[in-house]
Amino acid sequence: MLEQINQLDQSIFFFINQHLSNLFFDWLMPLLRNRYFWIPLYFFMAIFFVKNYNKQGWLILIAMGLTFGLTDYTSSSILKPSFKRLRPCNNPAIKAEVNNLIPCGTGFSLPSSHAANHFALAFFLISIFYNKWKPILPLTILWAFSISFAQVYVGVHYPLDVTFGGIFGGMIGYVMGTILLHLQAFNGWKPGN
């Protein structure tokens, strides 16, 4: 059973990594998974939250930082060393076939920390803002999914890595957002005001 799952995972990986390959994606996907590409978005969110929500905005930023830190530490320092799954670009059995668009890295593959971190932030934001602003759901899911898809496309993660990372990160983000909303400072929280 495990071997069949692994074979399906590799088949989907090669479909995304090779068969969907095109010049536009070859340019776009390395950008989407580059952490520096998103700095303007993070900067905008920080200003927006503090300007519009004052003390609550600062608490949102602190909780986002804690959410990111917890997710990143757990996925990178606990889960990856436990699973010890090689990245596709480092797997001796298939690495010659991988269309690798960025440096492979030396770390393990499962779960994808990029997927975990971005789905954690997405679900954190959804849990806080969804009741007042419904478009937050598709926008943040699309954002996290595009980063996760890019991880597979550039050759550094299998689909199962990003799926597991997304589920894991989404759970942490939802829990952290729910905890934040139960703080005294968020009594009567109305993000649309």
Rounded CA-CA distance 35/99 in Å is 21
Residue whose token pair is 């890019």: 150
pLDDT tens sequence across 24-47:
999 999 999 998 999 999 999 999
Overall pTM > 0.75 = yes
Classify the C-alpha dihedral 173-174-179-182 as positive or negative.
positive
The domains of the chain are located at 26-186
pLDDT tens sequence across 137-149:
999 999 999 999 9
Tokens encoding 76: 């990178």
Rounded CA-CA distance 151/162 in Å is 8
Rounded CA-CA distance 95/92 in Å is 6
pLDDT tens sequence across 162-186:
999 999 999 999 999 999 999 888 8
CA distances from 32 to 39, 139, 145 (A): 12, 15, 10
Residue 192 has a pLDDT of: 57
Rounded CA-CA distance 149/141 in Å is 12
Helix (H) or strand (E) holding 54: helix 39-73
